Amino acid sequence: MIVERTIRTVLYTKALKQEVSAAIIGGMSYQQACEKYAKRAPSTVYGWVKRYRGVTGGKKMKSKKIRFKESEVLSKLDKEKRELELALSRMSLKVHCLEIVIEEAGKHYQEDLKKKFTQQ
Q: Using the 8-state DSSP alphabet, how is residue 59 labeled?
A: E
- The residue count of the chain comes to 120
Alpha-carbon distance of 25 to 74, in angstroms, equals: 15
For 47, other C-beta atoms within 10 Å of its C-beta total 14
Provide the β-strand partners of residue 56: 59
Buried b (16+ CB within 10 A) or exposed e, 14-40: eeebbbbbebbbeeeebeebbeebbeb
Task: Return the half-sphere exposure (C-beta side, CA atoms, 13 A cut-off) of residue 64.
Answer: 7
pLDDT tens digits, 20-39? 788 888 788 777 877 777 66
At residue 4, the pLDDT reads 47
**68 vs 72, more confident:** 72
Entry pTM? 0.38
Q: Minimal CA–CA distance to 51: which of 11, 93, 17, 4?
A: 17
